[in-house]
Each structure stands twice: as C-alpha cells, then as structure tokens.
Amino acid sequence: MLTDVQRHIVKATVPLLEAGGEALTTQFYRLMLDGHPEVRPLFNQAHQANGAQPRALANAILRYARHIDHLENLGPLAAQIVNKHVALQILPEHYPIVGRCLLQAMGEVLGPEVATQAVIDAWAAAYQQLADLLMAAEASRYEAIAMAPGGWQGARVFTVLRRVVESREITSFYLAPTDGKPVIRHLPGQYIGLRLMVNGQEIRRNYSLSAAADGTTYRISVKREPGGVASNYLHDCVVEGTQVDLFPPSGHFTLTHSPKPLVLISGGVGITPTLAMAQAALEHGGRPVVFIHYARNAQVQGFQGVLQAWRAAYPQFSSHVVHAQACHMPEQAPDAVGYPSAEHLQAWLPCNRDLDAYVLGPTPFMAFMKRTLQGLGVPAAQIHYEFFGPAEALA
C-alpha cells in the first residue's frame, strides 16, 4: 500500500529521474536481460541497441511519477502498455523480475546517498501499485479475448497458407489456424504477436494486421529490416506450409466508425495497418476515405495494385502516393515526387476539416503530420497515431 509519505518521496525523485532516467533504465535492462534470460524473448534487442526502449521506459516512469496522485491523467499510456503486454503475453510472473531489477538499478545509478532505504521502499510500493493495475487490466483483456468468438489464450499454431512479395522490401504472409477453427475478428489497426524460434532462440514480435477481418485468416505484411532478426527470418525461412505460433490480436489504435471523412496517412511500412482500416471503412459504408502514402521509390512501395483497384471500385475512395525518388516508368509514376509537405495535405485533405486522421510511420514523420494537420484546422483530438516500436514523444 502506497502511503502519503511514500507518494511524496516518489514525486520528489522526478527531477533526479529527469536528469538520469535513461541511464537508470539502460542499467535496468542490462541487469534484467543478463540475469534473467527467460524474459529476453519479450524484448526487441534492436530497440535496446538504439536506445529506443530505455528512452520509452524512462518517459513512462516519469509520467507515472508525475501523475501518481491522479493516475487517470496518464491518458493513453496505460492502454498502450496493456495492449503491448497482451500481444506479447506478459504474465504476472514477469512482474517481480522487473520490479527487482528496477529497484537494483535505481540503487546502483543514484547511489546510496540518494537512493536511501526510504526512497527504495517508496518506489517498491509505487511499482507494486502500478503492477497491480496493469495485471488486473491484462487479466481482464486475456479473459475477454479468450471468450470472444474465435478467441484463444496463449500461443496457437497457425500455418502459412501463402506468401506474396509486395515490393523489394515487403512480403505478406497469409496465416490460418492449423486446427481449422475460426479466429477472432480483429479490429482494423490491431496487431498480432508472433513467436518464432530463430537459431534455437525464442523471439517474439508484434506485426500489424494488414487486411480487414474475415474470421478465418490473418495477413501480416513484413518489411525486411537491415539486421532485423525476425524480419529476415520471415523473409528467408518462412514458406508456405510453415507453422508458427500466434498470440491473439491486440492494440488500442483502432478505427472508429464515424460518418466523418477518414484520412489515412502513412510512411513506409506504416501502410500496413492503414490498409486494414481503409478496407474496413470501404466495406462498411459510404464514408469518404482519403489515402496518402509516402515511400522512397516505386521499388519499395507495395500495394499499388490494391489502391488502384479500390479507386475503381469505390467512388468515395481517393489515394495519393508520393515518392522521394523519381520513377522513369510511367505505370509506376507517383502522384508527386519529394518529401512530406503542407502543400500535399492542403491539396488533398477534404475541405471540411472536421475529419478523422490516422497517421503511421517513423516518429519524425508522425510529428510533422500531427503538427501540420493541426495547422490546417484538423482538431487535435481527431488526429490519431501509433508507434510500431517503443512509444516516444511527438515533439
């Protein structure tokens, strides 16, 4: 039970964490991953190497400490954490490991003069409060998913029905449950957790579902990342007939049904969840859909045929593709050449700016789009975005 004194101590440590939070979380990950190999499959080592995961954890810790008197002010942070945990199947037995390593790192980085026993005890109580909240929310999600039609809990074996090369970098995998039973109908924008064995080591990754729900199969469309262990394994080793373990769909970044115009803006492989959103919106009714996509060039851009087919089939659908590099083949020519600009949005957004916008792509891309959309009159509350990796601030 977190006491008033302990709550005051936690808030008082915020300036110290602001000064050295990333060093603390980097030490935390080192202690946990070196000392507890059983949790390594739950973490993407690339996000450790580039510092994204320590930065994200430091940001989450700071936000939690700042709002510890009013946790309802954490906004979407708790939902983001819960959905990521559910997709990777984080379980109650993992929380004590995290807690011990976090407190040990705090003692080692801050030193005994700052990390007194009172400070450690306060943070132990604060961590347990947060862990209890997350575990309760996750237990509820696990139960709801398992009880839903086609739902399940834990790993379920799926078979790769087919794989389709979408571009030089992106390949789609069509997955069906090996048991032949239905699957839960995911919400457009959600992702699944995938468990792989690569060179004898278990790894887990989340991949967006790139097609609308049909109750029988799932599709993921994976970009080959330089040095990416999971993506390269999928591209090089997973063929039709391969069996893989899937965890149920999760994710709070989902399409809201509305009569408002829908604008979907993506950069690179950020196109994958927007495809599912567009398909669901088009199949659901006559809502206007504007699809804007940025790619480096025609060779790496996927799904051009899909966009053309939707333009022909749905009068309420329009799409605009921008390539950073010019193309000399007329059939692959984009609508514009260059980089994201306010001029693009000014020309392509509906005149009525009372719209819903969903933005996916690299963090700087999303930050630019969020700022520009607001500048063009789109209400801030109607601009939605999601991070493929650890959540970061959109400065």
Active site residues: 95, 138
- Dmax (CA) for the chain in angstroms is 69
| C-beta separation of 166 from 221 below 8 A | yes
Cα–Cα distance for residue pair 209/220, rounded to 1 Å: 5
Distances (CA, A) of 275 to 176, 227, 264, 266, 303: 19, 26, 9, 10, 9
Helix and strand element counts for the chain (H, E): 12, 12
Question: To which H or E segment does residue 171 belong?
Answer: strand 170-177
Which of 104, 134, 103 lies closest to 10 in space, CA to CA? 103
Phi, psi (deg, nearest 5) at residue 169: -115, -20
In sequence order, what are the residues at sequence separation of 6 or more whose Cβ sits closer than 8 angstroms to the Cβ of residue 200? none
Cα–Cα distance for residue pair 302/280, rounded to 1 Å: 19
Cα–Cα distance for residue pair 257/271, rounded to 1 Å: 19
In sequence order, what are the residues at sequence separation of 6 or more whose Cβ sits closer than 8 angstroms to the Cβ of residue 196? 202, 203, 204, 205, 230, 233, 234, 244, 245
Radius of gyration of the chain (CA): 22
Residue type, 250: S
Cα–Cα distance for residue pair 157/250, rounded to 1 Å: 17
Give the number of other Cβ atoms within 10 Å of residue 251's Cβ: 23
The HSE-up count of residue 355 (CA atoms within 13 Å, CB side) is: 24
Joined together, the tokens standing for residue 328 give 């000399």
SS3 300: coil
Which of 179, 189, 186 lies closest to 149 in space, CA to CA? 186
